[in-house]
């Protein structure tokens, strides 16, 4: 039998449901963008790498304001949010060259929201053949690149897109 090691998942397992506060509120306040995988800060929203991604380059766009409903976004927040989703697509297209994207929000626990009280949009790059039997048979995702490497690549590429 072969073993697949993913020791970084233990952080998620041990902290699932135990985090005090809201990470989407707390992380930007820490001013440790590299450590928190924050790629870009806008006026109302920011872009960060998902720390527990479905695929390498799985990004999230979140407002700084703690709100649970997309309909509560003010006009400037909403416009910038979509602009940053577009920036994510341009960034990932240029750097990672995916074959497609999954883009969406999970609003409410029954819809799969892991961060229920703070809306955010997932931008997930997809490649032909990126899903394999491991997810179906073993409930395991195999990621081909670590978060630090992905962050460095995307941050460098982002500097060419945003002046």
Handedness of CA 123, 127, 128, 130 (dihedral sign): negative
Annotated catalytic sites, by residue? 120
Give percent above pLDDT 90 in the chain: 54
- Identify any residues that bridge with 40 across adjacent strands, giving them in sequence order: 47
Mean pLDDT of 109-119: 77
Q: Is residue 98 a contact partner of residue 127, using CB atoms and an 8 Å limit?
A: yes
Mean pLDDT of 61-89: 96
Position 90 scores a pLDDT of: 97
Helix (H) or strand (E) holding 102: strand 100-104
More confident residue, 132 or 4: 4
Handedness of CA 62, 18, 11, 142 (dihedral sign): negative
Burial 46-81 (b: 16+ CB within 10 A, else e): bbbbbebbbbbbbbbbbbbeebeeeeebeeebbebb
More confident residue, 15 or 134: 15
With 60 as the cut, is the pLDDT of residue 114 above it?
Answer: yes
Position 149 scores a pLDDT of: 84
**Who's near 84: CB < 8 A, 6+ residues apart?**
40, 42, 45, 46, 47, 61
Alpha helices in the chain (DSSP H): 9-15, 23-29, 75-96, 133-138, 147-161
Q: Which of 49-53, 68-72, 78-82, 123-127 has the lowest mean pLDDT?
A: 49-53
Q: Which of 1-5, 17-21, 54-58, 81-85 has the lowest mean pLDDT?
A: 1-5
With 90 as the cut, is the pLDDT of residue 1 above it?
Answer: no
Of 20, 125, 28, 111, the closest CA to residue 68 belongs to 111
pTM, rounded to two decimals: 0.80
For domain 21-157, the CATH class is: alpha beta
Q: Hey, where are the domains in the chain? A: 21-157
């Amino acid at each position: 039998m072969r073993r697949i090691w993913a020791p970084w998942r233990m952080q998620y397992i041990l902290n699932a449901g135990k985090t005090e506060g809201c990470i989407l509120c707390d992380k930007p306040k820490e001013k440790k963008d590299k450590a928190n995988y924050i790629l870009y800060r806008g006026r109302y929203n920011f872009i960060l790498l998902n720390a527990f991604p479905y695929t390498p380059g799985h990004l999230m766009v979140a407002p700084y304001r703690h709100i649970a409903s997309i309909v509560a976004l003010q006009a400037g927040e909403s416009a910038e949010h979509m602009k940053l989703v577009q920036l994510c697509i341009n960034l990932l297209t240029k750097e990672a060259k995916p074959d497609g994207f999954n883009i969406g929000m999970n609003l409410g626990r029954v819809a799969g929201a892991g961060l229920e009280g703070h809306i955010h949009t997932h931008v997930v790059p997809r490649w032909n053949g990126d899903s394999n039997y491991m997810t179906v048979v073993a409930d395991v995702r195999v990621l081909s690149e670590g978060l630090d490497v992905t962050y460095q690549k995307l941050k460098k590429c982002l500097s060419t897109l945003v002046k």
